[in-house]
Amino acid sequence: MTAQRREELRGATRLVVKVGSSSISGENAARIETIVDALAGAHSRGTEVVLVSSGAIATALPLLSLDGRPNDLATQQAAAAVGQNVLMWRYQTSLDRYGLLAGQVLLTAGDLDNPTHRSNARRAMERLLGLRILPIVNENDTVATHEIRFGDNDRLAALVARLIGADALVLLSDIECLYTRPPDEHGAEAIPHVAWGDDLAGYEFGSVVVNSVGTGGAATKVSAARLAAAGGVGVLVTSAERVVDALEGGEIGTWFEPDPDGAARALTGPVRTVHEDAASIH
């Protein structure tokens, strides 16, 4: 049943959790343990969880002796191939503490546009969940140049949440909540709740931010949250540091209320709508 309020996350039947590159790479690589602790806790309560994890390229940087995110596509693709392997190993090693098994699912946005591929992806993830396996989804960076450019895993997480009929989506990043303008600017105010249908045009979420390890920014989180909410999926945006509180329904982050009529359309309607309100997100 779709979560209408953040406190319902603790009792959710099915969740999608997305974590960004900077939250689990470099000096933050140890945070994988905390994230797995939270996922295992939800799993023990009977919640089915799908993890959408960025971080393949960022994980490979020190292994390939690269100082920062490569600029050329071929090196990005090579780094993704190396990093994805190591990233999955890190997750599985941590999951071993709980006797849990992960299953890798690599997708492109194009896969979810194609009816046959979309059906296959849904069936595979449903079977993994039925076997009590944690699907770990990432963009297939070696072939999908779109994600390598910017912010696609927020969109991918929203599409996956709609695809499998999740009760809620949790977008984890470096900030605890969204603000009315960049939080380092004077007058920025925290946004605890976004009701369905709220007009966000007056807020300044900033352009896409690209750092040395990852891509994305507040604007991509908002766009992805609205995409998921339009499909009847409630969305919580908060920091990776608060993942335990998030999955236990704590009063944290920014909650996007789902469209009460959206769930019926989520599995059957078109999903290529990530830019549907891009004009109103700055």
Please tell me whether 71 is known to bind a ligand.
no
Paired tokens of 179: 């603000």
Torsion-angle region of 132 (φ positive above 0: left; ψ -120 to 50: alpha; else: beta): left
Task: Say if residue 259 carries a ligand binding annotation.
Answer: no
What is the number of other CB atoms lying within 10 angstroms of the CB of residue 236?
Answer: 26
* CATH code linked to domain 6-280: 3.40.1160.10
Q: What is the pLDDT of residue 193?
A: 94
Position 170, amino acid: V
pLDDT in tens, 33-68: 999 999 999 999 999 999 999 999 999 999 999 988
pLDDT of amino acid 209:
43
Tell whether residue 141 is among the known ligand binding residues: yes
Amino acid in the structure at residue 118: R
Residue 267 has pLDDT above 80, yes or no: no
Cα separation of 32 and 262, whole Å? Answer: 33
In our burial notation (b when 16+ CB lie closer than 10 A, e otherwise), range 109-137 reads bebbeeeeebeebbeebeebbeeebbbbb
User: What's the average model confidence in pLDDT over 112-123?
Assistant: 93
Strands 209-210, 215-216: parallel, antiparallel or unpaired by DSSP? antiparallel
The tokens 């490979």 sit on which residue?
60
Q: Note the pLDDT tens digit of each residue in 181-237.
A: 888 888 889 999 999 988 777 677 754 443 444 445 788 899 999 999 999 999 999
Q: Is 54 annotated as a binding residue?
A: yes
